[in-house]
Structure 1
Amino acid sequence: MLMQDRHCACIYYQDWHRAQRPRPATEGNILHGVSRAVAPQSSKGPVQPEFTSPRNTLTISTGGIVVAVGEASPNQTPPPVPAKTAASPNPVLPMAKLSFDEEAKLVYGVIFSLRNMVHKLSGRDEAFVNYKTSAYKLHLFETLTGYKFVLFTDPGADSMRYMLRQIYMGPFLEYVVRNPLVEMDSKERGIDSDHFRQATDRLVRSQSVFNK
């Protein structure tokens, strides 16, 4: 799920069952605090934060072990092989082709174009709420103040607009709008609130479509 404000900026990102790990955004093209998973890599070269899924099925770690294969000396003790544990990461997922900031711009462009087309063909009373392709379904809930809540699901999923509205009426109003520590419309930071992220995660996990 991602959120965009009326200035076309992505202010929040969270995913659950993404098949490709997101490529970090280009430095300077994304607000701070949007998500650790898509934060640009620092020029100083620290290790990129790992990308995980709440189901623990999409775990990416930059750490690893390199083992050289060859004939061992008779007097040489072979190095110990690390045992697999429950916390061991799963195979590395392919990375998305586009950087996250480019993905976010494409999403905004698609929504803007389809929304205008719906208004021109059906009138102002008709709202664009979702569209479906063979690979995914996009769900949209837009507030009167211009905030766009966007969710990508399996193409066979039912409309999730009601859930996006629940996120707006519940966690968003409670932990973002009414929180004096979260700067709204600052054009400098995304929604950097652990309470909002955790509440959104619980709400999404409670949906029947999450376990399908």
Structure 2
Amino acid sequence: MTIYSLYIYDRHCACVYYHDWHRTRRPKPAVEGGILPAVSQAVFAPAVESNPSTLSAYGSPRNTLSSASGVVVAINEMNSQSIASPLLQAPPSPIAVSSTGLAFDEEVKLVYGVVISLRNMIKKLSGREEQFVNYRTSAYKLHLFETLSGYKFIVLSDPGSDSLRFLLRQIYVGPFLEYVVRNPLVAMDSKEYGVDNEYFRASVDRMVRGSQFFP
């Protein structure tokens, strides 16, 4: 069983977080203004990356948690634009990574649209309060966990995997509540930044890699 990618959407239908692991076909970078900053540097528009005024504390080397040592690293301000957090970079791959040919901002709209359409269809056809939790294709399986506050946690895995709703719920009740909801420095329902917290990103990465579904 393999986990491909994770998306988190807020109640404004905006993707506020993205993380991938075993994805072989990456989307193209989003167009300028297509996604919020701090969602994932791997899919930022180049114009957003190169503008120092748009960088928050999330991308600042002064607030970087080293994935190897777990130590907060302070460096000279002159190198602040040339050194980026290792967790924000696209993961290295021993093989050439192909592109889907689809910009990331279009991809997140399609993922969200599919989830909302299927959820509404199930509610209308079931005749009772039926809950949409996942669907499967020949290439992947989509898992959904939705909170009472309207946040949607979506993960894509290989089609043969079991339900991953419990893993999404663990991410919500663990790192999300700890580093995002209870963090006064993270603006909830912000329309300016994504989940701007590297401790959250590092915790999600450890949780997914430590699960039984991560080879």
TM-score, normalized by the shorter chain, greater than 0.5:
yes
1:150 pairs with one of 138, 148, 154: 154
C-alpha distance in structure 1 between counterparts of 2:213 and 2:111, whole Å: 22
Aligned residue in 2 for 1:130: 134
Identity of aligned residues (%): 59
C-alpha distance in structure 2 between counterparts of 1:45 and 1:164, whole Å: 33
C-alpha distance in structure 2 between counterparts of 1:102 and 1:150, whole Å: 16
C-alpha distance in structure 2 between counterparts of 1:43 and 1:17, whole Å: 26
Q: Is the 8 A contact 2:140 2:159 kept in 1?
A: yes
Q: Are 2:12 and 1:7 aligned? A: yes
* Change in 2 beyond 3 A, CA 1:44/1:160: closer
C-alpha distance in structure 2 between counterparts of 1:117 and 1:101, whole Å: 24
* Change in 2 beyond 3 A, CA 1:157/1:43: closer
C-alpha distance in structure 1 between counterparts of 2:196 and 2:128, whole Å: 34
Q: Are 2:117 and 1:113 aligned? A: yes
In structure 2, give the amino acid aligned to 1:204.
Answer: V
Q: Is the 8 A contact 2:32 2:48 kept in 1?
A: no
Q: Are 2:204 and 1:196 aligned? A: no
Note the aligned Cα RMSD (angstroms).
2.0
1:15-54 Cα distance to aligned partner (Å, 9 max, x none): 110011231111111101111111111289799x8521xx
Question: SS state of the match for residue 184, structure 1?
Answer: coil
Q: Is the 8 A contact 1:22 1:37 kept in 2?
A: no
Q: Is the 8 A contact 1:138 1:151 kept in 2?
A: yes
Q: Is the 8 A contact 1:12 1:191 kept in 2?
A: yes
**1:5, distance to aligned residue in structure 2 (A):** 1.0
2:90 pairs with one of 43, 46, 51: 51
Question: SS state of the match for residue 47, structure 2?
Answer: coil
1:31 pairs with one of 33, 36, 41: 36
C-alpha distance in structure 1 between counterparts of 2:8 and 2:28, whole Å: 18
Higher strand share: 2
C-alpha distance in structure 1 between counterparts of 2:111 and 2:49, whole Å: 31
Unaligned runs of 5+ in 2: 1-5, 52-81, 83-87
1:81-124 Cα distance to aligned partner (Å, 9 max, x none): xxxxxxxxx33211121100000000111001000011111245
* Change in 2 beyond 3 A, CA 1:174/1:124: farther
Matched pairs, number: 176
Question: SS state of the match for residue 132, structure 2?
Answer: coil
Q: Is the 8 A contact 2:27 2:107 kept in 1?
A: no
Larger radius of gyration: 1
C-alpha distance in structure 2 between counterparts of 1:140 and 1:123, whole Å: 21
